[in-house]
Amino acid sequence: MFIVNHLTRGDNTLRRNQVERLNEWVKTQTLPVIACGDYNFDWSVTNGEQSHDAGFDKMVADGNWAWVRPATLIRSQCNPNFNSVLDFVFVNTAARPLAIASVILQEADDCGNAAANPDDRPLRTEFELGAAAPAPTKAELLQRIEALEHQIQELKTMIQRLP
């Protein structure tokens, strides 16, 4: 499954709420999920481990998502006032073995030419889609069963409400 996200820029609380909803949603997914987009986490190119938005920590906290981190970081946006990564590719547990590499693409004068690149630099992320996903763990299978049981209970409730 492939999803594209653009989390809010100016409202830290809303952005972190968006991350919480993404985490809740991905827990219910059984397919490999690739999520990419402008997450606005302001990961500093020079010291990102210490300098980034708390939304990033919320995104990866429970292990539901992992960043397909480029080997070399450059600013992914063209604002010269910021030396940070805003654009990310994340994968869920099922998609982790498929992720090969990610690169923030940069061309000569790409940020100087607003018509060619008005905001963010593109990301190239490679996946091995033919690779077999590892067998699910006991915990993952139990989580799937719980999700199905929840859906069955919702259906039963809906049926009971019918005339």
Task: Note the pLDDT of residue 110.
Answer: 78
Residue with the bigger pLDDT between 54 and 141: it is 54
pLDDT average, residue stretch 111-115: 64
Q: Based on the domain organization, do 125 and 54 belong to the same domain?
A: yes
How many of the other CB atoms lie within 10 Å of CB of 21? 9
Q: Based on the domain organization, do 109 and 146 belong to the same domain?
A: no
Q: Based on the domain organization, do 111 and 41 belong to the same domain?
A: yes
Return the closest-CA partner of residue 6 out of 18, 24, 17.
18
Domain span including residue 145: 133-163
Which class for 84: exposed (0-12), middle (13-18), buried (19 or more C-beta within 10 A)? buried
Q: Based on the domain organization, do 148 and 75 belong to the same domain?
A: no
Q: Based on the domain organization, do 121 and 65 belong to the same domain?
A: yes
Query: Is residue 39 a contact partner of residue 68, using CB atoms and an 8 Å limit?
Result: no
Query: Is residue 65 a contact partner of residue 55, using CB atoms and an 8 Å limit?
Result: no
Task: Note the pLDDT of residue 117.
Answer: 52
Q: Based on the domain organization, do 86 and 32 belong to the same domain?
A: yes
Instruction: Tell me the whole-structure pTM to 2 decimals.
Output: 0.76
Task: Note the pLDDT of residue 131.
Answer: 56
Run of H or E residues at 160 = helix 138-161
What integer best gives the mean pLDDT of the chain? 89
| Segment 117-162, tens digit of pLDDT | 557 888 999 998 875 667 778 888 898 898 889 889 989 998 999 8
Q: Based on the domain organization, do 108 and 28 belong to the same domain?
A: yes
Return the closest-CA partner of residue 23 out of 48, 70, 68, 57.
57
| Segment 29-40, tens digit of pLDDT | 989 999 999 999
Q: Based on the domain organization, do 99 and 163 belong to the same domain?
A: no
- Mention every residue, 6+ apart, whose C-beta is less than 8 A from residue 48: 73, 84, 85
Q: Based on the domain organization, do 143 and 73 belong to the same domain?
A: no
Q: Based on the domain organization, do 88 and 139 belong to the same domain?
A: no
The CATH number of the domain holding residue 28 is 3.60.10.10
Q: Based on the domain organization, do 61 and 91 belong to the same domain?
A: yes
Q: Based on the domain organization, do 125 and 140 belong to the same domain?
A: no
Structural domain count, the chain: 2
